Structure 1
Amino acid sequence: MHVETYGPAGAPPVLLLHGGGVAGWMWEPVRERLSRDHRLIVPDLPGHDRSAGEPYHSHGRTVEALIRILGEQGGRVRVAGFSLGAQLAVLLAAEAPELVERVMVVSAQARPSAAPGLTLGLLGATAGLAGREWFARAQAKALFVPDELLGDYVRTSAAVSKQTLLAAVGENIRFTVPPGWARFPRAALVLAGGRERRVMLASARLLHEALPGSGLEIVEGAGHGIPLQRPAWFAERVRAWLA
């Protein structure tokens, strides 16, 4: 897994986990605002951009790889994840709480979709569209990718294999709250956009209710893409959360 680090070596470490179909570059607007005071650990998840040579297999295998990366850091790490990366953040907190100082979960689906087989069948039939620039540009707009990162999105989208697409989406739409989440002993914050799909808002409440003492924030007016849609606000929210 390709990993980039930014910021002073002795600063508090923060792991940033991107969503499906994008890559570590999605955190650029946030990184610019946080890397002076924090050591940011930014991987490209398997099957994505600079890690495209290793297909995405499962959340379980990806979390195992992340645990190895965090184990090399020494001490506990703050974790923030978006969408698919938010599901991984939940799993990290649930399965390796000794490595996680606190966790921010942004737009994680936690209720399985209806008829996942049908969804994946349709996705498989249209997987080739991901490599078409016009389709990637349309998807980028839906995800609030800014113009300066559009080239990164088009490149990443073209490199995502059908295997990665089906595996990552399959894991995403079947995800449920892991048992260990309720036992995470430190601070957790769950965010969702007020204009996201109902399943996403219900998922945010479900994650919040499953972990006593966690925080829940619904960001009014925001869709599925808070870190890219409102980078300045999000960076300041992360900064306050880290403090």
Structure 2
Amino acid sequence: MMHLDTFGSTTEPPLLLLHGGGVAGWMWEPMRAHLPPHARVLVPDLPGHGRSASENYTSHRATVDLLARILEDEGRPATVVGFSLGAQLSVLLAALRPDLVEQAVVISAQAVPLRMVGPTLALLGATAGLAKNESLARLQARELFVPESHMADYLQTSSSLSRETLLTSVEENLRFVPPAGWSTFPGSALILVGAAEKKLMRRSAVALHATLPHSTLEVVDGCGHGIPLQRPEWLAQRIEGARGG
């Protein structure tokens, strides 16, 4: 069972927020604080993460199927905002179920597959236990720009991540390419990438935009791999502006 928090009025168009790997739904709290109080916001903890840690992450496709059920229950198309791993899920959900996605906001999605996936996963498997080391976890938190107010949440999420979830989610992430249906997605799409992100991430944003030419690509100045936590107020305003709010 995937944990889901819901906020706002059920009469409003839904906004589905998908967190990145190694974090959980709490990462959206700084941004959500800048959304209108009546906004219908859906915030799941993806399988293997946070309050869904009891169920291992098995695949992007299986997770998208769970997300599709959430949106089916809402009864109207949603704006789907995803960060990193969640951004890949937003692309896949839009590609597979365009009837459920009115707009996709894709933040820092890797979409150019890594060449050396095998050795990378082998190293990750050998060092997976280090995720429970608080000092190393705090270093990783800084890379994601986790504020001190959410450090305890990050440390808890990191320590509860199983080896299976870590390896599966990372492999899915590293092998991800734009799915066939992305090029024919009829809704609107906003692709965001930090100006200070790694070259691979910037190339990925260009690839996603090239595959869906009617999408909008924006490079966000002053940001690395952590736009939702670095500029939460700006992101909330950008999303609301794109939705016509």
TM-score tier, shorter chain, comes to over 0.9
Amino acid at match of 1:57: T
1:22-171 to 2 correspondence within 5 Å? 22-171=23-172
* Cα pair 1:107 1:204 within 8 Å, conserved: yes
* Cα pair 2:13 2:77 within 8 Å, conserved: no
SS in 1 for 2:182: helix
1:220 Cα deviation from its structure 2 partner: 1.4
Q: C-alpha separation between the residues in 2 aligned to 1:239 and 1:180?
A: 26
1:33 Cα deviation from its structure 2 partner: 1.2
2:209 aligns with 208
TM-score, structure 1 as length reference: 0.98
Q: Deviations over 1:110-164 (max 9, x none)?
A: 0001210000000011100111111111111110000100000000000000000
Q: Percent identity?
A: 56
Q: C-alpha separation between the residues in 1 aligned to 2:222 and 2:181?
A: 32
Q: C-alpha separation between the residues in 2 aligned to 1:205 and 1:195?
A: 15
Runs of 4+ in 1 over 2 A off after TM superposition: none
Gaps of 5+ in 2: none
* Cα pair 1:78 1:103 within 8 Å, conserved: yes
1:81 Cα deviation from its structure 2 partner: 0.3
Distance of aligned partners of 1:35 and 1:136 in 2 relative to their CA distance in 1, 3 Å threshold: farther
SS in 2 for 1:46: coil
Gaps of 5+ in 1: none
* Cα pair 1:16 1:43 within 8 Å, conserved: yes
What is the CA RMSD across the aligned residues, in angstroms? Answer: 0.8
1:50 Cα deviation from its structure 2 partner: 0.0
SS in 2 for 1:224: coil
Q: Deviations over 1:145-189 (max 9, x none)?
A: 001000000000000000000000000000001000000001111
SS in 2 for 1:165: helix
1:237 aligns with 238
Q: C-alpha separation between the residues in 2 aligned to 1:142 and 1:128?
A: 19
1:221 Cα deviation from its structure 2 partner: 1.8
Amino acid at match of 1:164: T
1:76 Cα deviation from its structure 2 partner: 0.6
